[in-house]
Chain A
Amino acid sequence: MDQKTVARVAHLARLEISQEQQETLVGQLSSIIGFVEQLSEVNTDNVKPLASVVDAALPLRKDEVTDGQKKEAILANSPEQNEDFFVVTKIVE
């Protein structure tokens, strides 16, 4: 773990992190990653990964509209809106 890695991961996560914070994070993330490395001691040959503790299969339902007409509610917390749209930073040049 070095500052270059921290900067790269911060970019992947779209997190602005100051130079000073990055330096602190090098140490902290190294210690966290060092701690979780102990899993390499465990023999997991032929063990299937467990993603969910719920044994039941995910239920299916009919693909039908059960909700809607909530334009105002959906827009109520938007930082910026114009008529019925979210306003975002210009993406396409």
Chain B
Amino acid sequence: MTDLTKLTIADALTGLTNKDFTATELTQAHIDQAEVKKNLNVFITATPEKALAQASDSDARYQSGTAKALDGIPLGIKDLFCTNGTRTTAGSKILENFIPQYESSVTQKLVDDGSVFLGKTNLDEFAMGSSNTTSFFGNVINPWKSTANPSVDYVPGGSSGGSAAAVAAGIAMGATGTDTGGSIRQPASFCGIVGVKPTYGRCSRFGTIAFASSLDQAGVFARTVEDSAILLRSIAGHDVKDSTSVKMDVPDFASAITGDVKGLRIGIPKEYRMDGMPEEIQNIWNKGAEWLKAEGAEIVDISLPHTKYALAAYYIIAPAEASSNLSRYDGVRYGLRVDGDGIDETYSKTRGAGFGDEVKRRIMTGAYVLSAGYYDAYYIKAQKVRRLIRDDFTKAYEKCDVILTPTAPSGAFPIGENEDDPIKMYLNDIFTVPTSIAGLPGISIPAGLDKSGLPLGLQLIGKAWDEETLFKTADVIEKAACFETLGTTIKKVA
């Protein structure tokens, strides 16, 4: 029998429908793979019993001919999505024992479509980080090894590092993630898989533990562009429980993959050509443009003049929103409580003991920029710059249909690197943050390897609500790149 952990979701759905294998066999193969790859630490809470029970229900539906869109597909769920009855920690000590009594809308949709949940995947604490080294539950290890340092463990990127590593290692066929400034696209790039952050408002945020509400958006990981399109269709859609989810029809994203990019205008923003950018990043970016040109797309030079300021605006807006969102962890209604002398001391001790260093740093930054006397100078200023950044994109889309950039300024780095200097770590998101600030959809596609054999991704940024052009263009890059993911053999020939 074929190795079930190397299939694409599209092929697995065909195999299940044709009864080549059962959902139980498919799920068991992934549970076994998780055991083999346990050292990667991708799960905070693995749920094999739940997965096998769901798989058995899927098998019954395949038998009776009532199978649903994702029936029997084993997935990883970022431990930021509340799952009814299954512990949800946000990677934090403060929620170490939190068992939600309700289901997030995104995971409910995946349940409704028949998918199987293998477990809750590891992440940076409260999704704050770019390396998955801030989790209370330990680091996640990238399944890729560097040819230069084969004995060294590399970061999977973050914050959705557990989801990305699980999909890359064949532990899960796909996974959910959340992206506030790059938390899906950057780990997808580091782990050599596809990661999609849709338009802000495309997916419901109900039941997703909040980091920065005006930026947070759910999305997906998969090993192929088509698989990511299949998964996104399942989780997208308006939800009355989230007033910022938008009433828009959800297209069949996969059917946008036609291979035809003739005449499509691909924007290359000159401001993304950063000083000191490694040559291999520039090279892979050039290649991406050449691949699209060879298929008949038109390459257009564009300008996004305020790009330089996006990261600074982000590091005001995101911590400010985080500091107010995280004020709910007060030790009263849920989560850790450390008693002190009086209510203020109880709050301080609880939060001091429950949050890790990076989360404290961001709460402090946020509380500072929101404090009396600084609010206008920092927070309002950042919101004004946010408008300028969004206007840059609006103007650019008069000249082009989709924008091509590198996903990250480097490949994965060894665990422990960039830890001493928060700014250095924040620079990882320099190419992904502007998209988040503007609320636009973005996708990272594995495109090649760096000099030590680690994956590099290319990012496509779309117009709001135009994920279809992203998938269509990403598919052409995927086929041209002939990237060998660790698990899945992609059919290379169009």
* Interface, chain A (partner B; CB < 8 A): 5-6, 9-17, 21, 25, 28-29, 31-33, 35-42, 44, 47-54, 56, 58-59, 61, 70, 73-74, 76-80, 86, 88-91
Contacts and interface: CB of A to CB of B under 8 A. Distances in A.
A76 B315 contact: no
Nearest to B437: A53
Given A49-B387, A79-B336, 19 more contacts: A6-B364, A10-B348, A13-B363, A14-B327, A14-B344, A21-B360, A25-B364, A29-B364, A35-B426, A36-B312, A39-B316, A40-B381, A48-B387, A50-B387, A53-B200, A53-B464, A54-B244, A78-B333, A88-B332
Contact of B365 (A29, A42, A59): A29
B368 A70 contact: no
Interface in B307-346: 308-309, 311-313, 315-316, 323, 327, 330-337, 339-340, 342-344, 346
B21 interface: no
Nearest to B342: A89
Contacts, number: 168
B243 A31 contact: no
Given A70-B101, A73-B101, A53 B438 contact: yes
Contact of B340 (A33, A59, A86, A89): A89
B333 A86 contact: yes
A32 B336 CA distance: 29
B331 A54 contact: no
Interface of B: 97-99, 101-102, 200-201, 214, 240, 243-244, 246, 306, 308-309, 311-313, 315-316, 323, 327, 330-337, 339-340, 342-344, 346-349, 351-353, 355, 357, 360-361, 363-369, 371, 378, 380-388, 390, 421-423, 426, 438-439, 464
B343 A91 contact: yes
Contact of B351 (A16, A21, A32, A48): A16
Nearest to B98: A77
A61 B240 CA distance: 9
Contacts of A6: 364
B200 A54 contact: yes
Nearest to B372: A12
A50 B352 contact: no
A36 B382 CA distance: 9
Contacts of A78: 332-334
Nearest to A44: B384
- Give me the 10 closest cross-chain CB pairs, A-B, nearest first: A16-B352, A53-B439, A49-B383, A77-B334, A73-B101, A79-B337, A50-B387, A44-B384, A14-B347, A16-B348
B333 A77 contact: yes
Nearest to B316: A36
A65 B214 CA distance: 27
A15 B330 CA distance: 10
A31 B421 CA distance: 9
Nearest to A35: B423
Nearest to A31: B423
Contacts of B99: 76-77
Contact of A89 (B339, B383, B390): B339
A79 B97 CA distance: 10
A81 to B, nearest CB: 10
16 contacts: A6-B364, A9-B368, A12-B371, A13-B327, A14-B344, A17-B352, A29-B365, A32-B423, A36-B315, A49-B383, A53-B201, A54-B439, A86-B333, A89-B343, A89-B346, A90-B343
A92 B278 CA distance: 61
A44 B391 CA distance: 13
B383 A88 contact: no
A29 B368 CA distance: 9
A31 B482 CA distance: 42
Contacts of A44: 381, 384-385, 388
B313 A39 contact: yes
B421 A36 contact: no
B212 to A, nearest CB: 12
A28 B439 contact: no
A46 B383 CA distance: 13
Given A35-B423, A49-B384, A79 B309 contact: no
A69 to B, nearest CB: 13
B351 A14 contact: yes
A50 B240 CA distance: 24
Contact of A38 (B312, B347, B368): B312
Contacts of A37: 312
Contacts of B346: 88-89
A52 B351 contact: no
Contact of B309 (A15, A17, A38, A89): A38
B215 to A, nearest CB: 9
Contact of A47 (B200, B360, B387, B438): B387
Nearest to A22: B364
B367 A13 contact: yes
Contacts of A41: 309
A15 B352 contact: yes
A74 to B, nearest CB: 8
A49 B389 CA distance: 12
